[in-house]
Amino acid sequence: MAPPPDTIDQAYEVMKAGFIATLTANAADALIAGEVAASKRMGIGISWNLINSRAVSATLDYRQTLERFGGSDVTVIENGVAKRVFKPWLDDAIRADKERIGAIIETGIREGQAPRQIEKALDDVFAMREHNAALTAYQETKALFNKGTMARYAHENVQRGIWHHMDPQQNPREEHQELDGQVFDLDDPIWYELDLPNCHCRCEPVIITGGI
């Protein structure tokens, strides 16, 4: 007998809350790490009070966005230009997961499948969920690290950055290899591409002699 819908919904609410808590904890660490990395690249001292204050504020905003809207800003490429857009990826993933599980249970009951067969199909869904959750957590953490880094540059009035492509690596993006060594304004949308999956490139601040 399939569990009642309200029980499934409650279980997913608990799972969603747990995932948000994990992402939020990772967010604080990533934002701080990004600011620290930026400070080291610029060769300036680290103000922990300032960094922690900005990290707390950004983390609260991130958590509220996840809780209220079920997603976050992600990088997309449209007409060859990178941009940040909001996507409800968390709510979409949960909805798709629930639909898959509901379909497995409904099909199993309708076709008279053995409990073990249904269990196996559900195990596959849960395994895929864990895999996707790990990838998502990594991607979100990387994006927040970059956000912390760029925020630190902006706070120190850095105006431009040098794109550094990280080699060697498997299946590098040719367009990112071509960007290696090029200089862009810090507010150029090209930097959004640092958040693309499996991108290991970085921004080196252009330091002006006698100041930043």
In angstroms, what CA-CA distances link 197 with 34, 133, 137, 138, 191?
18, 14, 12, 9, 14
Residue 184, beta-bridge partner list: 161
Give phi and psi for 163, each to the nearest 5.
Answer: -80, 130
32-51 tens-digit pLDDT: 999 999 999 999 888 888 88
DSSP 143-194: HHHHHHHHHHHHHTT--EEEEE---S-SS--HHHHHHTT-EEETT-GGGGGG
- Write the pLDDT tens digit of every residue in 148-181: 999 999 999 999 999 999 877 788 899 999 999 9
Q: The whole model's pTM is what?
A: 0.85
What three-state secondary structure class fits 124? helix
Show me where the domains of the chain are located.
5-205
